[in-house]
């Protein structure tokens, strides 16, 4: 094996060994994740792009507001990002390993507060994630000889992990019983792993199937969010709706699909952190703007690109349907912003600022993202 192919496993092994002796050593997590970004830049990613896609994992070091597992958030983020880089290798068995690492590591933080509901939520999620990983294994194993069969299972693995309808029932069930502290991890980094799988595993499915699944998820998610009272369930159903936008965007542009998932993942990380630890009211409204897609927030750009692509490729009536689903999210996101607890928690406020700043300077880096392959 060439030396450069040993760098990632050697670095990960060294990191894990050090982390076992330095519990709660978040600077080590930051250094390791940053080193992975440098590694990707050296492999050919534009440096600004390596920084953009490393950002959720760096912020993930502090994503769990409190609890007995809060100090392990950095390790979960580091393991998850290592999994993403394995997905990007293009080697089937490494992609499967990476998908499992990237989706399961953050989920372990779900019962961080030690409550029964979060523990039950973890076991329910592990069942769903095991099914998704099994689908991915079947798909990657069979795609060389039976492409249609393999691509279908890969796509279903991603859809299940994202929580797209009709595979969405686990999302309100798990989110509705778990504490927000751990949901900050579950609702963000595993979704990014699914987005990277769309981009790098690239299942070839019929465009009509993706459009249909995406349109159904938007409708089901928005309807559920509009009719739910508990904020966790509102955010759960909004996750289903955002999965719909990403699935719908996938045949048009996998890069836009990934960017949609990234904007939602960062927003959900901050919203659940805000729900657990509180933060400024202004941060809550900035986060709501990001989730809806209001400029200058980061969430505005992928939805704008999706509207343009869909209207140009599929017709103006499709653009109207997408715009209507964006408009349907306005009432419940502003209700979430209004009802989130006030406080002085710094993490949600920091992510709100980052999302707004990243959106404001998007023209400086967005073209690199849309050319990523």
Q: How does pLDDT run across 134-175, given as a tens digit for each residue?
A: 999 999 999 999 999 999 999 999 999 999 999 999 999 999
What is the SS3 string spanning 89-139? CCCHHHHHHHHHHHHHHHHCCCCCCCCHHHHHHHHHHHHHHHHHHHHHHHH
Let me know: does 195 contact 261? Beta carbons within 8 Å. yes
pLDDT at residue 4, rounded to an integer: 58
Q: Residue 65: which pLDDT band, with cuts at 50, 70 and 90?
A: confident
- pLDDT at res. 169: 94
| Distance between CA atoms of residues 44 and 269, nearest Å | 29
Looking at residue 20, what is its pLDDT? 84
Contacts of residue 197, defined as CB under 8 A and 6 or more positions apart, other chains included, come to 87, 95, 99, 136, 154, 157, 158, 161
Q: How much of the chain, in percent, has pLDDT values that exceed 70?
A: 98
* Banded pLDDT at 23 (limits 50, 70, 90): confident
- Over 90: is that where the pLDDT of 182 sits? yes
Domain ranges of the chain: 3-370
In the predicted structure, residue 1 carries a pLDDT above the cut 60: no
pLDDT score of 39? 87
Least confident of 23-37, 114-128, 209-223, 263-277: 23-37
User: What's the half-sphere exposure (Cβ side, CA atoms, 13 Å) at 369?
Assistant: 25
pLDDT band at 344; cut points 50, 70, 90:
confident
Mean pLDDT, residues 116-136: 96
Distance CA 104, CA 152 (A): 22
pLDDT at 139: 97
Question: How far, in Å, CA of 59 to CA of 16, rounded?
Answer: 19
Residue whose tokens read 């465009």? 207
Alpha-carbon distances, residue 138 vs 111, 113, 144, 216 (angstroms) = 30, 35, 11, 26
Say whether pLDDT at 2 is over 70.
no
Q: Which residue has the higher pLDDT, 39 or 261?
A: 261
DSSP 3-state percent helix, strand, coil across the chain (nearest 5)? 80, 0, 20
Stretch 307-328: mean pLDDT, rounded?
96
260-283 tens-digit pLDDT: 999 999 999 999 999 999 999 999
Binned at pLDDT 50, 70 and 90, residue 363 comes out as confident
pLDDT at position 357: 95
State percent of the chain over pLDDT 90: 86
Question: Average pLDDT over the chain, rounded to whole?
Answer: 93
What's the rounded mean pLDDT across residues 35-45? 86
């Amino acid at each position: 094996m060439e030396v450069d192919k040993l760098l990632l496993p050697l670095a990960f092994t060294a990191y894990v060994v050090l982390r076992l002796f330095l519990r709660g050593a978040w600077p080590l997590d930051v250094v390791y994740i940053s080193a992975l970004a440098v590694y990707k830049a050296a492999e050919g990613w534009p440096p600004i792009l390596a920084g953009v896609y490393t950002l959720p994992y760096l912020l993930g070091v502090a994503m769990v507001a409190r609890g007995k597992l809060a100090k392990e958030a950095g390790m979960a983020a580091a393991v998850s990002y290592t999994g993403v880089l394995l997905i990007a290798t293009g080697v089937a068995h490494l992609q499967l390993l990476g998908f499992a690492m990237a989706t399961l590591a953050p989920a372990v933080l779900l019962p961080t507060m030690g409550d029964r509901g979060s523990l039950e939520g973890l076991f329910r999620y592990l069942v769903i994630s095991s099914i998704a990983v099994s689908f991915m294994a079947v798909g990657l194993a069979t795609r060389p000889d039976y492409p249609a069969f393999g691509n279908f299972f890969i796509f279903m693995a991603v859809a299940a992990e994202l929580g797209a309808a009709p595979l969405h029932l686990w999302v309100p069930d798990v989110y509705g019983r778990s504490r927000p502290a751990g949901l900050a991890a579950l609702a963000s980094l595993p979704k990014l792993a699914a987005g990277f799988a769309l981009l790098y595993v690239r299942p070839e499915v019929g465009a009509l199937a993706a459009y249909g699944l995406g349109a159904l998820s938007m409708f089901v998610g928005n309807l559920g969010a509009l009719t739910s009272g508990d904020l966790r369930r509102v955010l759960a159903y909004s996750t289903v709706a955002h999965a719909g936008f990403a699935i719908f965007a996938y045949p048009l542009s996998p890069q836009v699909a990934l960017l949609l998932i990234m904007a939602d993942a960062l927003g959900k990380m901050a919203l659940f952190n805000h729900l657990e630890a509180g933060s400024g009211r202004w941060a809550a409204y900035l986060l709501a703007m990001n989730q809806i897609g209001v400029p200058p927030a980061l969430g505005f750009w992928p939805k704008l690109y999706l509207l343009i692509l869909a209207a140009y490729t599929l017709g103006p009536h499709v653009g109207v349907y997408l715009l209507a689903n964006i408009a349907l999210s306005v009432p419940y996101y502003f209700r979430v912003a209004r009802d989130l607890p006030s406080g002085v928690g710094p993490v949600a406020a920091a992510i709100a600022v980052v999302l707004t700043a990243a959106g404001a300077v998007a023209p400086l880096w967005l073209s690199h993202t849309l050319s990523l392959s």
